Amino acid sequence: MQQQDRLQYLLEKTTTGTIAEEERQELFVLLTDPDTRQLYNDLFEQLSTQYAEEEDFFSAEETTHLFEQINEKNRESGSGPDVSTRIHRLKPVLFWAAACITMLLSLLSYRFFVNMHRVADQKKMAQLTPAPRPKSDVMLTLSDGTQVSLDSTVAGRVFEQKGARAVNNDNGTLTYAGDVTTAAKPEVVYNTLTIPRGKQYKVVLPDGSQVWLNAASSLHYPTQFPDQERKVELSGEAYFDIVKDDRKPFLVVTAQQTISVLGTSFNVKAYTDEPYIKTTLIAGSVKIDPLNGSKSRVLKPGEQAIVANNDLQVKTIDTKEDVSWRSDLFYFSDTDLREMAYQLQRWYDIEVDFSSLPAKRLYGQLPRSTPLPELLSAIEKTSNIKFKLSNGRLFVEK
């Protein structure tokens, strides 16, 4: 406990700018001690919300020195000669230290870039900034095929459709409700909500269920659910918060699976340009039925189902990474560089040369409001990767 208290004390002194040189060196040592793991995780969550307002903990030279200390410990453990390989082949007792320091340095190097080098890096920023691209709108396709831009539609506009109505609110939400003036059972008609790259939108379905759609996604759904079922079709990524109805299960259909729900919260990632579908359960219970005939599985909260290559696997995960987009965050926790690149491609509306990407895994978190050049610079400072962005195409220099 004394060692943990000491770590907290030293980190607090760094945020106030009162840390002495001897204490700074002591902090270097404590950051590599696995006994402080839980405290570090808690502190990192607090520090991540302060990154844009505080001064740097370490200089560029000090961060390099800290990595050298980690690598020296790893050499003593008998790992190979390559730097990137050494960091990822640490013994279990050292692996978390490398991970937590990488996460911390990701945050701190981003702050260092924003607060200390904005003027010095101006030329590089101009080179990395992508050329302006036409902005696409959030589009609602009505039952008769009419397409409406919700971005340019006045707040409060009502769309009447055969016994149902939808209201486009001013907070990025489209809300459906039945028309109480219609006595007869309305005809079931369908709408499609399409979200372009770089945007998100929310829809409240006729039963009150809420769906948040991520960038480059679409949802096809009825304006009124029929008596026997509630079914929607998803392409892309969405977070669902489903109203419980024991008489009428909720079905989410994607290209490779059907998800059966009664009442629960979960995230589905089903982009056509990625080779898998991930379903992450936050609360409640869902059943995954692969369309290839594989055996269905029921998920518990905290579990994730991955359907890929006609195979279904279930594992327990930290759900924070999969739902971080709901909080407008990029959250990387041992995340493959290719998976991160897909996120950047959809959010910043760029194209990525995936053939140039090395086998790297990343740690850290940044707000999605971060300009792309700043985000790339933060990754470069902690991963030995050199990005180049030309004419809206991103690749890694060899």
**pLDDT per residue rounded down to tens, the chain (398 residues):** 466 677 777 766 665 567 777 777 677 666 656 555 555 555 555 554 444 344 444 455 555 555 555 455 445 544 443 433 333 333 333 444 444 544 454 444 444 333 433 434 444 443 444 444 445 899 999 999 999 999 998 888 999 888 788 999 988 999 998 655 555 666 889 999 999 999 999 999 999 999 999 999 999 999 999 888 899 999 999 999 999 998 899 999 999 999 999 889 999 999 999 999 999 999 999 999 998 777 899 999 999 999 988 789 999 999 999 999 999 999 998 999 999 999 999 999 999 999 999 999 998 889 999 999 999 999 998 888 999 999 999 999 97
Q: What does DSSP assign to residue 124?
A: H
81-95 b/e (C-beta count within 10 Å ≥ 16 → b): eeeeebbbbbeeebb
Q: What pLDDT sits at residue 49? A: 46
Report the relative pairing of strands 201-204 and 210-213 from DSSP bridges.
Answer: antiparallel
Distance CA 194, CA 318 (A): 29
Q: What pLDDT sits at residue 294? A: 78
Q: What pLDDT sits at residue 170? A: 80
Count CB neighbours of 354 within 10 A. Answer: 15
Q: Which amino acid is at 24?
A: R
What pTM does this model have? 0.68
Distance CA 376, CA 353 (A): 15
Distance CA 171, CA 175 (A): 11
CB neighbour class for 236 (10 Å; exposed up to 12, middle 13-18, buried from 19):
buried
Q: Is 172 left (phi over 0), alpha (psi -120 to 50) or beta?
A: left
320's CB contacts (< 8 A; 6+ apart) are: 331, 333
Distance CA 315, CA 227 (A): 35
Q: What pLDDT sits at residue 368? A: 94
CA within 13 Å, CB half, 217: 26
- Look-up of token digits 């505080």: 54
Q: Are 270 and 236 in contact (CB under 8 A)?
A: yes
Structure tokens at 395: 């690749």
CB neighbour class for 247 (10 Å; exposed up to 12, middle 13-18, buried from 19):
exposed
Q: Are 145 and 139 in contact (CB under 8 A)?
A: no
Q: Are 10 and 74 in contact (CB under 8 A)?
A: no
Q: Are 374 and 368 in contact (CB under 8 A)?
A: no
117's CB contacts (< 8 A; 6+ apart) are: none
CB neighbour class for 385 (10 Å; exposed up to 12, middle 13-18, buried from 19):
middle
